[in-house]
Amino acid sequence: MNQYERRLPHWNLVGQPLFVTFRLAGSLPANRVFPPARVTSGRAFLALDRFLDQARSGPAFLRQPEIAQLVVQAMADGESRFQRYRLHCYVIMPNHVHLLVTPLVNSSQWLGPLKGFTGHRANQILNRRGVPFWQDESYDRLRAQQNPEFNPVTAGLAASPQEFRRSSAAGC
């Protein structure tokens, strides 16, 4: 198990469940101050997640059904077609994605291609050129117990996980 850091700590491991969050570029206000990575905690993650759930600033491209379905299909292909991970569950919020996977290859072989492909195709759909779709860094945790399907309920977007259409709980 390798851990490495950029702005956030990351886990490059195979065969252990990993909870991953990645968000749209520009989904946080530019003037928002973040604590240094060494003091970032689970509480800081939850606060940031709650902020993203509100989707009050920045793009919310994942609300568009065509783009959300693109991400769903790419995640499914990563599991079935490319066999890069086992996909346990996911949720696609308006400006970020949560997924619980067990990687079968190093993160550079599954997360980068997933974000690269979906970002490129989404920008084509949106007729955008020369701008990033995803924030370059993701957030991952060794937490097999967290279920991202409850995120829309916590955010007030659905009464139950099954009611939120862009989730593995809804049977997309």
pLDDT tens, residue by residue, 78-127 = 999 999 999 999 999 999 999 999 999 998 899 999 999 999 999 999 99
State pLDDT tens for residues 26-68. Answer: 887 666 555 554 445 555 555 555 556 555 668 999 999 999 9
In terms of Cα–Cα distance, which of 74, 78, 50 is closest to 62?
74
- Say if residues 134 and 109 touch (Cβ distance below 8 Å): no
**Domain definitions of the chain by residue range:** 14-29+36-170
**Stated pTM of the model:** 0.80
What CATH number was assigned to the domain covering residues 14-29+36-170?
A: 3.30.70.1290
pLDDT tens digits along 115-166: 999 999 999 999 999 999 999 888 877 765 567 888 888 888 888 888 888 8
Q: How far apart are CA 150 and CA 146, in angstroms?
A: 9
CA distance 5 to 114: 20
